[in-house]
């Protein structure tokens, strides 16, 4: 069996997810357009490869990603795990400026933060409608760094009630920042956390406090942003790092890692995709292809053989922090 399609049971639920999962921000047109044809081929290709874990959100294309994912999964002939997010609702507003993150997003629909109890309920119900599915397995509180009290006092109780009713099976958060994620984790009973960009070849901050806490409390970690939004795919001038233009320093660091790996016949993208899985806190790596070809590249990279000696040499070189368990 391919490593990317290996399934693992989440610690606090009966859900079994594949080691490689599909993130759908690019499917919603993040930074660049994705055609319906490419979207269909990508999603069906993921199912054909045995990938069963799909992450989406209302924000991604302002509903486009959820609709595309739902269309594919409604016709799926194999079991799947669908994960979406709450914390933003989509509102109709006339005459808004084009969205810089999602240029193809509808001009009259805008995602607005709403961490009220009513907003969380509405977000869940409208996601179900856009997906057109009978269930949502996992719901994450999305980008709650500026809404920590509301996430703890409003969002989590609503999601806990949905879980008690059997309407969802796992509760989590999806964030780019470690400290606010930890604050919410410590005040709630989460099952899973999707952390983007904080345990990569360039940034290992998540292993300082967040991973130990997750291991101690049986919280699964899905690791997104493993290419730090692009620079670890191709560290050249103009690359992006954490969704912004990468600095010369970041590009130079990524280039050093790339050169180090090239000397050992290891592609940078293979090391970037596999690196998070070395830590026992990480259950799944969320990849973000925008077409079937990129998906195959991720799958091949996930299974590319990297000797343990390469990881040891990489840590000893000082280019990457030693793993802390």
pLDDT per position in the chain (325 positions), as tens?
Answer: 699 999 999 999 999 999 999 999 999 998 889 999 999 999 999 999 999 999 999 999 999 999 999 999 999 999 999 999 999 999 988 767 767 789 888 888 999 999 999 999 999 999 999 999 999 999 999 999 999 999 999 999 999 999 999 999 999 999 999 999 999 999 999 999 999 999 999 999 999 999 999 999 999 999 999 999 899 999 999 888 888 899 999 999 999 999 999 999 999 999 999 999 999 999 999 999 999 999 999 999 999 999 999 999 999 999 999 999 8
Strand ranges inside the chain, DSSP E: 7-9, 16-18, 20-23, 53-55, 81-86, 88-92, 109-113, 138-142, 170-175, 192-196, 220-224, 240-241, 244-245, 282-287
Contacts of range 232-241, beta carbons closer than 8 Å, 24 or more positions apart: 232/200, 232/201, 232/202, 232/257, 232/268, 232/269, 232/272, 233/268, 233/269, 233/272, 235/268, 241/202
CA-CA distances (angstroms) from residue 19 to 54, 126, 310?
Answer: 12, 28, 21
The set of residues, in sequence order, having a beta carbon less than 8 Å from that of 91 and lying 6+ positions away, is 109, 110, 111, 112
The set of residues, in sequence order, having a beta carbon less than 8 Å from that of 250 and lying 6+ positions away, is 202, 228, 231, 241
Task: Identify the pLDDT of residue 99.
Answer: 72
Task: Identify the pLDDT of residue 98.
Answer: 65
CA-CA distances (angstroms) from residue 233 to 65, 229, 254, 301?
Answer: 23, 8, 9, 11
Reference 181, options 191, 192, 173, 190; nearest CA is 173
pTM of the model: 0.96
Domains and CATH numbers, the chain: 3-316 (3.20.20.100)
Catalytically active residues are 55, 60, 85
Task: Identify the pLDDT of residue 307.
Answer: 97
Residue 109 to residue 111: CA distance in whole angstroms: 7
């Amino acid at each position: 069996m391919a490593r990317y399609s290996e399934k693992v049971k989440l610690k606090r639920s009966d859900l079994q997810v594949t080691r490689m999962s599909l993130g759908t921000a690019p499917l919603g047109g993040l930074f660049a357009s994705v055609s319906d044809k490419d979207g269909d081929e990508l999603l069906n290709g993921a199912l054909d490869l045995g990938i069963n874990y799909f992450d989406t959100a209302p924000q991604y294309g302002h509903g486009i990603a959820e609709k595309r994912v739902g269309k594919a999964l409604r016709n799926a002939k194999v079991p799947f795990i669908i994960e979406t997010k709450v914390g933003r609702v989509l509102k109709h507003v006339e005459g808004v400026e084009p969205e810089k993150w999602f240029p193809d997003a509808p001009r009259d629909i805008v995602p607005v933060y709403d961490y009220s109890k009513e907003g969380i309920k509405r977000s869940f119900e409208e996601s179900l409608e856009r997906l057109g599915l009978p269930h949502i397995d996992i719901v994450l509180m999305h980008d709650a760094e500026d809404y920590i009290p509301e996430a703890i006092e409003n969002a989590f109780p609503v999601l806990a009630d949905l879980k008690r009713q059997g309407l969802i099976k796992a509760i989590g958060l999806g964030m780019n920042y470690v400290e606010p994620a930890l604050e919410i984790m410590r005040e709630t009973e989460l099952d899973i956390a999707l952390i983007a960009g904080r345990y990569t070849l360039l940034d290992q901050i998540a292993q300082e406090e967040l991973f130990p806490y997750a291991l101690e409390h049986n919280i699964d970690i899905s690791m997104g942003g493993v290419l730090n939004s692009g620079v670890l795919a191709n560290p050249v001038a103009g690359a992006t790092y954490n969704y912004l233009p990468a600095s010369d320093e970041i590009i130079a660091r990524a280039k050093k890692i790339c050169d180090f790996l090239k000397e050992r016949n290891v592609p940078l993208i293979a090391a970037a995709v596999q690196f998070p899985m070395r830590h026992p806190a990480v259950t799944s790596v969320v990849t973000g292809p925008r077409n079937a070809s990129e998906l195959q590249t991720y799958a091949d990279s996930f299974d590319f053989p990297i000797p343990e000696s390469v990881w040891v040499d990489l840590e000893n070189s000082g280019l990457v922090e030693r793993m802390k368990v």
